[in-house]
């Protein structure tokens, strides 16, 4: 994990600030709307145990996992202790940009997801005002100490693993102000951003589905009349002909 300053001990702590709360409200809204329409039995949220992004899911088993003690399951995100093809939904909220091995995490998620299973990722957009703030400012505390991954690069990684992008969205178009009053004054930028500069949101969401290629045998519909003419006489018919010829008078 990148060397982050102890002034921001975790991303969850940053979410408690006005700046982080502005982002969290938009992320919670997206996850609530998206996971409610995904059906299955087992749903996993990697990281951020303090935020329940699966609360609107209707799957019977919902749990969080990560290296924080508050998670339901303690683990290393790059080595998931779950059976292959055992999960229907996996959320990765801001895990990849704070990991040294984001490719390995995605490979493990692909392994544990069932065919047609869903993966939802949220990340900070480097091609935005938030990304510009990170490039020009300090990179010692959260979330600026993370390695922001561009959306085209993330899509390429998913395509190599056999995922198909099913949807996505951008959010957090306001500049990364620290004061609530300035963030509230820029609230109009959310609707305007979706319409005029949609790819410049500070945060992006990506919904991908695991596709497994397969082969189905196509059987022709035979013409029964033609087949009966082409088939040779059956042995049973030959026996009847032979018996009849033996009983006929010479």
Task: Give the tens place of pLDDT for each residue, 209-233.
Answer: 999 887 565 666 666 666 566 666 5
DSSP for residue 87: E
Rounded-to-integer distance, Cα 35 and Cα 30, Å: 9
For residues 169, 171, 173 and 176, what is the CA-based torsion angle, rounded to 10 degrees?
A: -140
Residue-range domain boundaries for the chain: 11-210
- Cβ neighbors of 5 (< 8 A, separation 6 or more) are 140, 141, 145
Rounded-to-integer distance, Cα 248 and Cα 87, Å: 75
Class of domain 11-210: alpha beta
Rounded-to-integer distance, Cα 52 and Cα 6, Å: 24
pLDDT digits (tens, 9 = 90+) for 67-105: 888 889 999 999 999 999 999 999 999 999 999 999 999
* Residue 6: pLDDT over 50: no
Q: DSSP alpha helices (H): ranges in the chain?
A: 11-15, 18-35, 102-112, 129-136, 151-160, 180-185, 188-196, 224-230, 235-247
Closest CA relative to residue 120, chosen from 154, 92, 148: 92
* Residue 113: pLDDT over 50: yes
Bridge partner list, 92 = 121
* The model's pTM: 0.79
């Amino acid at each position: 994990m990148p060397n982050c300053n102890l002034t921001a001990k975790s991303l969850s702590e940053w979410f408690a600030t006005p700046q982080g709360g502005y982002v969290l409200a938009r992320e919670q809204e997206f996850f609530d709307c998206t996971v409610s329409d995904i059906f299955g039995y087992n749903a996993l949220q990697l990281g951020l145990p303090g935020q329940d992004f699966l609360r609107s899911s209707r799957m019977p088993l919902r749990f969080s996992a990560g290296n924080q003690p508050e998670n339901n399951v303690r683990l290393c995100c790059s080595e998931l202790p779950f059976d292959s093809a055992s999960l229907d939904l996996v959320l990765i909220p801001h895990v990849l940009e704070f990991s040294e091995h984001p490719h390995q995490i995605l490979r493990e998620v692909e392994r544990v997801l069932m065919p047609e299973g869903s993966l939802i990722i949220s990340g900070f957009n480097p091609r935005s005002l938030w990304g510009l703030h990170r490039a020009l400012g300090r990179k010692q505390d959260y979330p600026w100490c993370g390695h922001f991954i561009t959306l085209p690069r993330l899509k390429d990684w998913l395509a190599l693993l056999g995922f198909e992008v099913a949807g996505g969205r951008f959010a957090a178009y306001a500049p990364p102000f620290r004061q609530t009053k300035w963030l509230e004054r820029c609230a109009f930028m959310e609707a305007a951003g979706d319409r005029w500069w949609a790819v410049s949101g500070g945060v992006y969401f990506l919904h991908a589905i695991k596709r497994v290629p397969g082969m189905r045998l196509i059987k022709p519909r035979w013409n029964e009349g033609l087949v009966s003419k082409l088939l040779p006489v059956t042995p049973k018919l030959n026996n009847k002909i032979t018996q009849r010829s033996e009983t006929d008078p010479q």
